[in-house]
Amino acid sequence: MQRMTDNMRKRAGELMAEGKADRFLGWEKGSFWWQSPPVEIKEASQTERLIWDLFCTANLAKYLQQMQSLEGKTGVFVKGCDARGINRLVRDGAIDRDKVYLVGIPCPGMIDPDKVRELVGDGQVTIAPLEDGLSLQGPLGERKVTLDEVALDKCLLCRHPEPLGCDEVLEGKAREPFTGDIYEEVRELEELGSDERYDYWAEELSRCIRCYACRNVCPACNCVKCVFDMDQPNWLDGATNLANNQVYQLIRFMHVAGRCIDCGECERACPMGIPLRKLAAKVDKDVNELFGPFEAGLDPEEKLPLGTFDPNDPDSFE
């Protein structure tokens, strides 16, 4: 990790000195052991703030979109999911690819802080690399684990840990791509009866406080003005009840159908711990079954399943 951090700092400084980037977007160490939030580097003297560790989870695509009005070119360090998120935004015209310089980082997977807390307690934790895993030191003592034991669920199912479509990629080792069934949890829910499924989602969505964190962090939610921010028509009232929450989540996931890259940011940002990736996976599964195999974010010029007319598409409304 330290070697990659050093390479990032060096390369960011070089690219800014060469005029290939006017600023850089990456991650820095936060106030707590489990935080490595996004950071904007505005000049070469600030590159020491950059860091690469197992908590660089935040997807930088949406932050890059918010910087599109800046003059010059923005350099961005990207994991596999960041790169696919940027490809999505380029495809939607929300990011000008000519104003971006992408530096890829092969991703080993990121750590889920909650899994670490379950093993060594909730308090100050020190994580050290071992030859075959990690050493966790916390209030409950030391535990030696593999990365997969404490990795985020989304990382365990990642099919593209190598960043795609970058201008250059730093040397490093990515985790093995997942080749199994990414819809296993969806199939388990589908096997339940309709009443059981309704009860499951009613219980989960009743906890939603409609803070819109899932929308704000999502690379597929990039409308200039969101339908939920409009006065007319007014799709939702101010009440955070189950009916409004169901309308909000169902509309949002239909809007990102065929465009979700499964970066998991919606679920990670949710303060109520709602399993939003399951909803996203269900919609993605349906899109694949109805319109053929498709993965969003692999190509910035991709044709979207719900944005392309094909006379062979299913027409179930006859």
Rounded Cα distance between 155 and 177, Å, is: 9
Domain map of the chain by residue range?
Answer: 2-112+151-169, 113-147, 184-303
Specify whether the CB–CB gap between 112 and 153 falls below 8 A. Answer: yes
Spatial contact of 30 and 6, defined as CB atoms under 8 Å apart? no
User: And the tokens for 62?
Assistant: 């949406």
Instruction: Please choose, from the candidates 269, 277, 217, 211, the residue with its C-alpha nearest in 3D space to the C-alpha of residue 245.
Output: 211
How far is 245 from 147, CA to CA, in rounded Å? 35
Q: What is the pLDDT of residue 93?
A: 92
Kindly state the greatest CA–CA separation across the chain. Answer: 64
200-230 pLDDT per residue, tens: 999 999 999 999 999 999 999 988 889 998 8
In order along its 318 residues, the chain shows pLDDT tens digits of 899 999 999 999 999 999 999 999 999 999 999 999 999 999 999 999 999 999 999 999 999 999 999 999 999 999 999 999 999 999 999 999 999 999 999 999 999 999 999 999 999 999 999 988 999 999 999 999 999 999 999 999 999 999 999 999 999 999 999 999 999 999 999 999 999 999 999 999 999 999 999 999 999 998 888 999 888 888 888 788 999 999 999 999 999 999 999 999 999 999 999 999 999 999 999 999 988 889 999 998 888 888 887 777 766 655
Is the CA virtual torsion 98, 100, 103, 109 positive or negative? negative
**What's the pLDDT tens digit per position in 156-212?**
999 999 999 999 999 999 999 999 999 999 999 999 999 999 999 999 999 999 999
Q: Exposed, middle or buried, 172 (CB in 10 Å: 0-12/13-18/19+)?
A: middle
